[in-house]
Each structure stands twice: as C-alpha cells, then as structure tokens.
Amino acid sequence: MTTTVVGFPRIGEHRELKRITEKYWKNNATQTELLEAATAIKEKHWDIQAQAGIDFVSAGDFSFFDNVLDTAYLLNIIPNRYRELDLDDLDQYFALARGYQEGEKSVKALPMKKWFNTNYHYIVPEINDTTQIKVTGNRLFDDVALATSKHANVKASIVGPFTLLKLARYIGTKQAADFAVDTIAAYREIFAKLNETSIAWLQIDEPALVFDLTDEDKAFFQDIYTQLLAQEHGFKVNIQTYFGDVRDIYSTLVALPVEGLGLDLLEGKYNRALIKELGFPNDKILFAGVVNGKNIWRNEYRKTVELIKSLPVENYILSTSCSLLHVPFTTANEPNLNPDLLQHLAFAVQKLTELKELDAILAGNGDTALEANEELFASVNHPFDANVHARIDQLTEADYHRQPSREERAKIQKAEFNLPELPTTTIGSFPQTADVRSNRAKFRKGEITRAEYDAFNREKIADIVKFQEEIGLDVLVHGEFERNDMVEYFGEHLAGFEFTKNAWVQSYGSRAVKPPIIWGDVSRKEAITVETSAYAQSLTDKWMKGMLTGPVTIFNWSFPREDITPEESVTQIALAIQDEVLDLEAHGIKIIQIDEAALREKLPLRKSDWFKEYLDWAVPAFRLVHSKVEPTTQIHTHMCYSEFNDIVKAIDDLDADVISFEASRSDLSLIEDLKANNFETEVGPGIYDIHSPRIPSKDELVDIINKILAKLPTEKVWINPDCGLKTRGDKEATESLENLVAATFEVRGKLNGIN
Ligand SMILES: Nc1nc2c(c(=O)[nH]1)N[C@@H](CNc1ccc(C(=O)N[C@@H](CCC(=O)N[C@@H](CCC(=O)N[C@@H](CCC(=O)O)C(=O)O)C(=O)O)C(=O)O)cc1)CN2
Ligand SMILES: [Zn+2]
C-alpha cells in the first residue's frame, strides 16, 4: 500500500507566508522576496512529507491566496476591470483577491465565500459573456516542475472543471454549460502540459460532487470527464472528493476511465455503504480518506483498520479525508499544553506519521504502533462537571422562548431607545492595529502587568467612543480591542476549553485563526465582557451595544470534542453565554449583540440533513441564550458571508430583534429573499465590504442604501458595514465610516423631504 495527503497547510509552520505577504502588500518587501519565501515553504513542506515516509508528495496545493482563484487565474477567468489596472501578474492576482485602490484607479475585490462547511474562504470566480477560458497562467506548471526536480514521486492537484464551473458566478446571460467546450479544451491543455513533466498522479479536486446533484449536473459532469479523459496522459488521474459522500454520482464515478477515486470515508460516512453495496472496481485505486483532515484528534488505528478491512476494495492508497489545510501545522510547537490533552492530538505533521503507521499495520508490521495507540485510547479522560449536566437536565420548553413576541417587543423598544430612522451602527471590532496587538503580545510575554494591559485598552475604548460620537453613529460599540479573536477570547474565559500557542489555521488569504480546543464540560468561569461594556457605556450618553459570540459560532470555530454530540456541546456553551447576557443586562447594557457569524457554515451540505442534523438544535441553542432578557433589552445578531437564501425562516426563528449580515461583496440578492419570505427581524444588510482595504465613496453608499430601501420597509432597516473592522487600518476604517454616516444623513434627509 502507499500513502499521500489531499493537501498540506501552506501558510507555513510559523505563518511565514502571512508575514512576508503582508509586508509585500505594505511595500515593505519586494516581489522577489515574496517569491523566494514561497519557494522555501513549498520545498520545506515536500521534504516534511517525504521524510515522514509519505509516498507521493503534494504539489499544486500551495497558493498565495486561494486555490480556486489560482485555477480561475490559470484559466484566464479575469474580469476586464482588473486587466485594465495594468498590473503585473502577481499584483493583478492580488487585485482580484483584495480589490485595488491607487489614485484614480479603484476596483472592488471579487466576492469571498465559505469553502463548503469549513472556516476557509475561497474567491468566487466571475464569468461574463466575453470570458475566454483558456490556459494563460504558469504557476501550477512551475510548482510541479520544482516538485519533480526535488522528489521522484509527485502528485499534483488542481481544482476540477465541474467544481470550478459550479462555484463560479455568472454575471452575463451565459451559464456554466455554455463554457463547457472551452473549459474542456483548457483542461486538456493542462493535461498536455503536465504530460511533459514526470508526475505520477494528477489529483483533480471535485468536492462539488458531494452536494445534492440534479440530473443536469450529473450529465454535465459525465460529459466534461468523458471528453477530458480522452486526452492522452502518461500520469494517472484521481478524482478527489471530500466533505461528504458522492451518493448521487457514485455509479458514474466508478465507471469513468480514471485510475483513482478519492473518497472521504469519515465525513462521507455514506461512502462506506456505497462501496459495500455497489462494489468498487478492481482496476481502480481507492484514495481512502481515513485520516481526518478537519479534526485534531489522534486516529484510532483499530477502528481505521477495521474500516479498511470491511470494504470490498482491492487497491488502496491511504490518504486524508480532505486537505490538511484545515488543521494546524504541528503539535511540536505546543510544549505548554496540558499533557493529558497533548497526547491525544495530531496536527498536520503528526497525521503524516499516522498514515505511515496505518500503512505498516495494514501490511502486518505495525504491532508496536497499534499497541501504543490502543493504550492511548484506553485512557481518554474529559474533565466532567456534574453541575453542567444537572443544569441541562432541568431545561424545559419555556427556556427556549422569549416573551413577549418580537412584534410587541419592537414597539416597546422603539419607545425605549428613540433611535432615528435608519439607525447606524458597526459590527463591533475596530482596527486591531500594531499597537493593540503589541500591547497584548507584551502582556502575554509578561513584559507588562494586567493593569497596564487594561489601561491601554481603556484608552483605546475612550478614543473610539469619542470618534463614534463625533462622526454621529447612533449605536456605539467599545471596539473589541481586548480580543485576540472573537472565539478564542470567549474560550479563554470558559471552563472546558484549552489553548494552543501556535496552532494557526488559514481562514482566508493571509488571515488565520487559532481555534480553541473543547476538552471538558463547558461553563462560565467568570464575567467576560461586563466590566469592559459597562466602562464603555459610562463614557457616553448614546447606547452602547454589548458584544458576545454565540454558542453555535463558538462551537463551530473551535475544535470540538467528539465523545459527546454537537447538540450537547452547544447547549453547554449556550448556558454559559446566557449567564453573560443576563450579567450584561444587570449591569445596564440594553443592546446586546450575540454574533452567530458561523451559523450558516456548518449547515449540512445536503438539504435533507439541514433540520434534523443541525438547525433543530442550533436555532434553539441561540434562543436559549437570550430567552430570559427583558422586553426592553434589544438582542442583535450578526452573520457573515452568509448565503442564507434558503434558510431565511430559520434565521427569523432565532427570534433576535435585529440582524446584520454580509451583503456587499456579492449583489444584494439576499434582500429579495428576505422580502419574499416576509422576514420579520429588523435588518442591517452590510453596505460595504470590510475585507478589502478599498474605501467606498459616499455616493456609492447612498446608492446601495436606496437599493435596500427599494425592497425593505424603512422602519426595519439598519445601516452598518458588513462585518467587524478588526482587519482594517485606522484610515480606511475611519473614512469608510464617515462616508457611511454621511450617506445615511443624505438618505434620511431625502426621506424627510429635505434636500
Ligand atoms: N475564528 C474566527 N473565524 C472567522 C472570523 C473570525 O473573526 N474569527 N472571521 C471571518 C473571517 N476570518 C477571519 C479570520 C482571521 C482574522 C484575523 O484577523 N486573524 C488575525 C489573527 C487574530 C489573532 O488571533 N490575533 C492574536 C495574535 C496576533 C499575532 O499574530 N501576534 C503576533 C505578535 C504581534 C506583536 O508582537 O506585535 C504573533 O503572535 O506573532 C492577538 O491579537 O493577540 C491574523 O491572521 O493576523 C480575521 C478574519 C470568518 N471566520
Ligand atoms: Zn462578520
């Protein structure tokens, strides 16, 4: 048997890629320095794989920003407004990803969306009627050439034509099928170019096959691949899927003239049944996704071996369930972690060893590894808290329902808050500038005291409150300067969570997160935000919005334990956050935002699973958090990057008073769905994209507000950016907000007949 991985993390063991890329963006590093750093990272990662004994090292999984964008770029899917900027290759690429603003030139970034059910985001390729799909890029071929010059056995990977065309956005009249001919020709050319190299395998990533597929999708897939595979190729081809099962297309897949099929046997549990019931051809190799690419727990060898042996498959390559992009680099950089927990962890590097050990065990010479692993699994010991369990046992239906109804509350709250029409607010965070980060870094290293750390943040809060008052925002925030991350920070104040020092996972572009680990039963150890919010409120006569992260998001953006159900974990977290909500209310905070940024993210990929597997417990968990507040307390929530067109009713069911969400990078199509579904919650559709450094003009914001008001009743609309401002610089944040307020004043004036 042999081994490989679907993909390896690419930001670098110490986030080297992030650091050099951000320097390059700030003109503090040259393009040569950036390219050299990238080469060093790729070479190091191939060496790590080879040294761990992995048989086929992975090329093509590196990216300066995102793999989907790389593929679009390779295939000339570059809208003209970016070409007109007249930039060099790499800067044009970054312009698509981040937008561009220089003198007169100003172009928005392409939209960014959640990559399936992960916290990774891809750039959505934009295709219009004049897009000419053909091979124009070189980066893939250069990477493959470099890999094959260093390693004998190389597997290259690329996003497949079906997934690319499925995920792209079509802004003209032509649709995916209209681009099939050119796309097939382009991939045939990729085949031809790769044929000149010595790669052993080409992995074509087709994760879009795990969605619900229509007959049309299936025919489209088959048509593309029948033509593509007719192209001569000396390498073997593996069609790789992940994040779910391929129930709609399995028979087609096993009949294709490819040498390999990559199936996720963990998240795609049903793939096991497909193989057992429908068989697996002896002339194909199963890339068996048995080492989890999403969780951080050690693999239980006995179970994996049983799984492999239970399948009627002749030929295997042992692999990961998906790319290791979604896990941190190595546990070796976590010397201070609770040793009881540490022994149960496997990050990317450790997962390579697991593949090798499993390979040995299956070959009959891994007894020592198997025994050690069995011993480890005999001793899992999650911290238990009887109080937490008792509290959950006592919950009744009433705990999940806030009184009175939202309609009643809206009247009470209009009188209570006396806000102007189209109230303006922000999503919570203000720029986490170098001074904010370095203050925290100093505190972490013990260079300053807790009091000094807090004093600095208080000054920041005072400044930002003053700024918001000056520019005329209506509902203020304290700026979230005290938070390293909206999930990690809450985890740090909750019992049951553990933290890493270096376990970074890429979220988008140069940005990464360090998800906390849920290891024991969860409860609130202490008040979390009360002092900060109360202090901020004391500085102003305007309303101060308290800012919390909701239970579903804390759960989804942590590494969850797997010995209890997600429902149980989320309920534990919900009760902890409920304590905080009531504490905030008791301390005079009357507007409380409970962020559920990640609610949409883990919505099952198949519609049939949406309610039973997820929404039926995720929505109640949110209600549990706020059900006990007074009618005069206004509950806000926030969601980002959400395509929730199909779950509008479920969002209303959260029973929040106000919701803000992302709507600006994409079109405003969601607003139509809100209207069509008689959405009841008051809404703040984000009017500009905070993930790009570009500053929106007042006129452009007036235009967007008017578009929103054309669809939604004025009394239900709030005006805000589409997410928190933490990733922005001070200048961008300040000017954008000034324009936001100015635009709102202008529209309000017009509404009231003043010009
Ligand atoms: N968990 C999570 N998921 C999310 C989001 C989110 O906010 N959180 N937002 C959406 C978009 N995704 C995002 C993901 C990351 C970041 C982000 O800003 N990440 C920061 C890190 C944030 C952080 O943890 N900061 C820490 C550590 C910062 C750091 O790097 N410190 C330096 C030292 C700095 C110094 O000495 O001055 C170091 O460790 O080397 C802190 O502030 O304390 C980054 O990549 O740069 C933003 C959005 C969706 N998913
Ligand atoms: Zn957000």
Quick one: angle between helices 450-471 and 434-444, nearest 10? Answer: 160
Beta strand pairing call for 316-320 and 475-476: unpaired
Q: What is the pLDDT of residue 163?
A: 98
Q: What is the pLDDT of residue 437?
A: 97
Q: What is the pLDDT of residue 1?
A: 76
Q: What is the pLDDT of residue 535?
A: 98
Nearest CA to ligand 1 atom 49: 119
247's CB contacts (< 8 A; 6+ apart) are: 270, 274
> Does 14 sit in the ligand 1 pocket, CB within 6 Å?
no
Centroid of ligand 2 to alpha carbon of 639 (angstroms):
5
Residue 13 has pLDDT above 60, yes or no: yes
Residue 665 has pLDDT above 70, yes or no: no
- Residue pair 333/295 in contact by the 8 Å Cβ criterion: no
- Residue pair 577/551 in contact by the 8 Å Cβ criterion: yes
Grouping H, G, I as helix, E, B as strand and the rest as coil, residue 422 is coil
Centroid of ligand 2 to alpha carbon of 553 (angstroms):
11
Burial class (CB in 10 A: 0-12, 13-18, 19+), 377: middle
Q: How many helices (H) and strands (E) does the chain have?
A: 29, 24
Confirm whether residue 428 is marked as ligand binding.
Answer: yes
Pick the atom of ligand 1 nearest to 444's CA: 43
Tell me the two tokens of residue 534.
């109360």
Residue 753 has pLDDT above 90, yes or no: no
Look up tokens 């809100």; give the residue. Answer: 674
CA distances from 565 to 369, 389, 556, 578 (A): 29, 13, 13, 20
Nearest CA to ligand 1 atom 36: 438
Residue 246 has pLDDT above 80, yes or no: yes
Mean pLDDT, residues 252-275? 98
Cα separation, 371 vs 668, in Å, equals 57
Mean pLDDT, residues 726-741? 97
Query: How many C-beta atoms lie closer than 10 Å to residue 210's C-beta?
Result: 26
Quick one: angle between helices 566-586 and 616-626, nearest 10? Answer: 20
Q: What is the pLDDT of residue 642?
A: 62
Radius of gyration, CA atoms only, the chain = 26
- Residue pair 38/64 in contact by the 8 Å Cβ criterion: yes
> Does 115 sit in the ligand 1 pocket, CB within 6 Å?
no
CA distances from 280 to 204, 446, 469 (A): 19, 58, 66
Residue 259 has pLDDT above 90, yes or no: yes
Grouping H, G, I as helix, E, B as strand and the rest as coil, residue 125 is coil
**Closest to 401 (Cα-Cα) out of 184, 620, 707:** 620
Tell me the two tokens of residue 405.
């109804």
Mean pLDDT, residues 349-361? 98
Which band of pLDDT confidence, cut at 50, 70 and 90, is reported for residue 669? confident
Confirm whether residue 322 is marked as ligand binding.
Answer: no
Q: What is the pLDDT of residue 288?
A: 98
Pick the atom of ligand 1 nearest to 488's CA: 1
Residue 531 φ then ψ, to 5°: -60, -45
Mean pLDDT, residues 217-244? 97
Q: What is the pLDDT of residue 430?
A: 98
> Does 159 sit in the ligand 1 pocket, CB within 6 Å?
no
Residue 39 has pLDDT above 80, yes or no: yes
Residue 641 has pLDDT above 70, yes or no: no
> Does 514 sit in the ligand 1 pocket, CB within 6 Å?
yes
pLDDT in tens, 407-465: 999 999 999 999 999 999 999 999 999 999 999 999 999 999 999 999 999 999 999 99
Mean per-residue pLDDT over the chain, rounded:
96
Pick the atom of ligand 1 nearest to 22's CA: 46
Q: Between 130 and 645, where is the model more confident?
A: 130
Q: What is the pLDDT of residue 379?
A: 87
Confirm whether residue 640 is marked as ligand binding.
Answer: yes
Judge if pTM exceeds 0.90. Answer: yes
611's CB contacts (< 8 A; 6+ apart) are: none
pLDDT in tens, 123-165: 999 999 999 999 999 999 999 999 999 999 999 999 999 999 9
CA distances from 560 to 297, 497, 520 (A): 10, 10, 10
Q: What is the pLDDT of residue 664?
A: 58
Query: How many C-beta atoms lie closer than 10 Å to residue 607's C-beta?
Result: 11
Grouping H, G, I as helix, E, B as strand and the rest as coil, residue 512 is strand
pLDDT in tens, 62-90: 999 999 999 999 999 999 999 999 999 99
Instruction: Give the mutation target among 10, 18, 437 for probing the ligand 1 site: most ligand atoms within 8 A of CB.
Output: 437
Tell me the two tokens of residue 148.
């094959």
Centroid of ligand 1 to alpha carbon of 277 (angstroms):
46
- Residue pair 290/265 in contact by the 8 Å Cβ criterion: yes
pLDDT in tens, 692-703: 889 999 999 999
**Is this prediction's ipTM beyond 0.95?**
yes
Centroid of ligand 1 to alpha carbon of 137 (angstroms):
31
Which residues are known catalytic residues? 691
Q: What is the pLDDT of residue 412?
A: 98
Mean pLDDT, residues 475-490? 97
Write out the DSSP string of 586-605.
Answer: HTT--EEEEE-TTTTTTS-S
Mean pLDDT, residues 201-206? 98
Q: Where does residue 12 fall: left (phi above 0), alpha (psi -120 to 50 degrees), or beta otherwise? A: left
Q: What is the pLDDT of residue 662?
A: 84
Mean pLDDT, residues 658-671? 79
Confirm whether residue 438 is marked as ligand binding.
Answer: no
CA distances from 263 to 118, 207, 236, 499 (A): 18, 10, 16, 32
Q: What is the pLDDT of residue 672?
A: 87
Instruction: Give the mutation target among 427, 430, 513 for probing the ligand 1 site: most ligand atoms within 8 A of CB.
Output: 513
Which band of pLDDT confidence, cut at 50, 70 and 90, is reported for residue 261? very high
CA distances from 563 to 380, 384, 498, 523 (A): 10, 12, 16, 18
Instruction: Give the mutation target among 333, 482, 485, 596 for probing the ligand 1 site: most ligand atoms within 8 A of CB.
Output: 485
Pick the atom of ligand 1 nearest to 508's CA: 12
Mean pLDDT, residues 619-648? 92
Count, residues in the chain: 755
Write out the DSSP string of 447-473.
Answer: SS-HHHHHHHHHHHHHHHHHHHHHHT-
> Does 440 sit in the ligand 1 pocket, CB within 6 Å?
yes
> Does 271 sit in the ligand 1 pocket, CB within 6 Å?
no
